[in-house]
Amino acid sequence: MYVKVVNGKESYAQIAEAAIGMGALDRFIVTNQSDINLMNNLRRDVGCGHKECPLFAISPRSTKEKYNVPAPPPGVETVTSVLNIENAMAFNFLVDHCKIDTSALTDSKESSEQALLVTDSKGKVSIKGGKIQKVYFLPNGGE
């Protein structure tokens, strides 16, 4: 298994899944044209189309070493801090294509605003750290 929930963070599992999105974990990942051709031939031979057997191509370099992603701001979880993804290819795919390093997971809208929003001296509100792009919160994982 490539993806596991970190012990003690089980309450975020459902919203982490929402942040990743439907269909991201059920595709074949290929790293070169030879693999693409092979998978296309296999899909054709077994009658499995693009929707039933999706392919995604990534750089061969993305299979070697996990990206070094920054930790989330204090008091905030991201999908990368809630899930343990040991496989470099799976982790890097989810960072590149599902933006798991920029998806915050919090207990509520209010707690996300408290943990993430800062106001500068001119009254402009921004997100702490600047890396977070989406916020998912309990109970329904809504953005």
Instruction: Tell me the CA distances in angstroms from 44 to 3, 39, 40, one per residue in order.
Output: 29, 8, 6
Domain ranges, ordered by start, for the chain: 3-137
Which helix H or strand E contains 124, and what residues bound it? none
Give the pLDDT of residue 59. Answer: 86
Give the pLDDT of residue 27. Answer: 81
Give the pLDDT of residue 71. Answer: 87
Which tokens is 128 given? 């702490």
- pLDDT in tens for each of the 143 residues of the chain? 578 999 999 999 999 998 998 878 788 888 899 999 999 999 999 999 888 888 888 888 888 899 999 888 887 899 999 999 999 999 999 999 899 999 999 888 888 888 888 888 999 988 876 688 898 987 654 45
3-state SS assignment for residue 119: strand
Give the pLDDT of residue 114. Answer: 87
Quote the radius of gyration of the chain (alpha carbons, Å): 18
Give the pLDDT of residue 45. Answer: 94
Following DSSP, what letter does each residue of 36-94 receive, concatenated?
HHHHHHHHHHHT--TTTS-EEE--GGGGTS---PPPPPTT-EEHHHHEEE--HHHHHHH
Biggest CA-to-CA distance, the chain: 63
